Chain A
């Protein structure tokens, strides 16, 4: 029974296209995240939502738009995809509070050609 699940696992698309990645968690956590892991394996936070409210919005191109319809779901829509968007995108969730563990989805490997 997967705790944090994201779809699709792989996504290959052409430059200029628009695509979405979906994430769902069944842990009852209040906070969800999107992270980007580039080719150098550096995991960088993009967005975070707490109970459907945006709480972290790092310097990310506005082609990236997160949406949280409810606290168990956080989707990421990307417009006008560029080659530099190729990366692995991880969704994660945490319960409220300090020193909490982040649970990650299995990642979406996005390749823009």
Chain B
């Protein structure tokens, strides 16, 4: 079983739409949680960390549900520039240097 699982998509949405992605993780002792963004043929870059109480950064909201072992990312008022692959990342408590990446969810925002 993979450490982190995501729906690969693609999610095709019009500009201005709200879209949400979920990701599940298998290790209940996971410690740190992140969303990364990867543009086509580019390297992954940190979008936001995910905190236990949930957190927001502009149009982006991240939530963590430890009981159900999933994290979510909500994007409001989608822009064309949001088109990318969104990677869910988890680190275990026994080794915070070990980043486990999901395979990513592809988002296409259409005009």
A interface residue numbers (CB < 8 A to B):
31, 33, 35, 40-45, 48, 50, 55-56, 90, 94, 97-102, 104-107
Which has the most chain B C-beta neighbours within 10 Å: A56, A97, A100, A101?
Answer: A100
Residue in A31, A42, A43, A101 whose beta carbon sits within 8 Å of that of B97 in the complex: A31
Q: Is the CB of A43 within 8 A of B42?
A: no
> Is B31 on the interface with A (CB-CB < 8 A)?
yes
CA distance in complex: A94, B44 (Å)? 14
Interface residue tally for chain B (C-beta within 8 Å): 24
Apart from A33-B97, A33-B99, A55-B95, what are 15 other A-B pairs with CB-CB below 8 Å? Answer: A35-B101, A40-B103, A41-B38, A41-B85, A42-B101, A43-B87, A45-B98, A45-B99, A90-B44, A101-B46, A102-B89, A104-B44, A104-B45, A106-B42, A107-B43
Q: Is the CB of B97 within 8 A of A48?
A: yes
Secondary structure type dominating chain B contacts: strand
Residue in A55, A56, A99 whose beta carbon sits within 8 Å of that of B32 in the complex: A99
A24 CB → nearest B CB, Å: 15
Please give, as numbers and ranges, the residues of chain A lying within 8 Å of B87 by CB-CB distance: 43
Please give, as numbers and ranges, the residues of chain B lying within 8 Å of A42 by CB-CB distance: 101, 103
Please give, as numbers and ranges, the residues of chain B lying within 8 Å of A106 by CB-CB distance: 42-43
Q: Is the CB of A56 within 8 A of B31?
A: no
> Is B72 on the interface with A (CB-CB < 8 A)?
no
Known: A41-B85, A41-B103, A106-B42. A98 touches B32 (CB 8 A): yes
